[in-house]
Amino acid sequence: MHRRPHLILLAAALALVSCSSAPQPAARAADPACTHALAAAPATVLGKARSPLDVPGALAWGDPQIVLRCGLPGLEPTTSTCLVVDGQGWVVGDPDADPVVFTLYGHDPTVDVSVPASYGRTSAPGALVDLAPVARALPANGRDCS
């Protein structure tokens, strides 16, 4: 009978870990192109200062965090919504999700940017304007939003 409380605590701890919203590093987070691109990241995004994030190949701003992850494979051609912001194409994930995720199109490796809904649906693309230097620093793969 003494083991049962420990099992309940273990199950509760595992449930908390599985519900964690901490971002996972992208498969190619250590790619030198990511190191170069992340060095071009701005000090602020949507007016929010950089915030601590202990995830390789990723940066964050604000609270709740706007998260940029580098090291994703370049996207294949898609019929998903693609916005052109500051000359860079971004594929929009589910616009009703929280956070809204934008994935840079036409680069390999590429980045995704998660913007919490609390920043406002109409403000979210402003993060892409702020992150244009990161996008431009990644190698192009010849695809664009057209």
**pLDDT tens-digit readout, 85-136:** 999 999 999 988 999 999 999 999 999 999 999 999 888 999 999 999 999 9
Q: What pLDDT, on a 0 to 100 scale, did the predictor assign at position 95?
A: 87
Task: Please state, in angstroms and rounded to a whole number, the distance separating the CA atoms of residues 20 and 72.
Answer: 21
Please check whether residue 28 is in contact with residue 109, taking contact to mean a CB–CB distance below 8 angstroms: yes
Burial 108-144 (b: 16+ CB within 10 A, else e): bbbbbbbbbeebeeeebbbbbebbeebbebbeeeebe
The domain segmentation of the chain, as residue ranges, is 25-137
Task: Please state, in angstroms and rounded to a whole number, the distance separating the CA atoms of residues 142 and 146.
Answer: 12
CA 92 to chain centroid, in Å, comes to 12
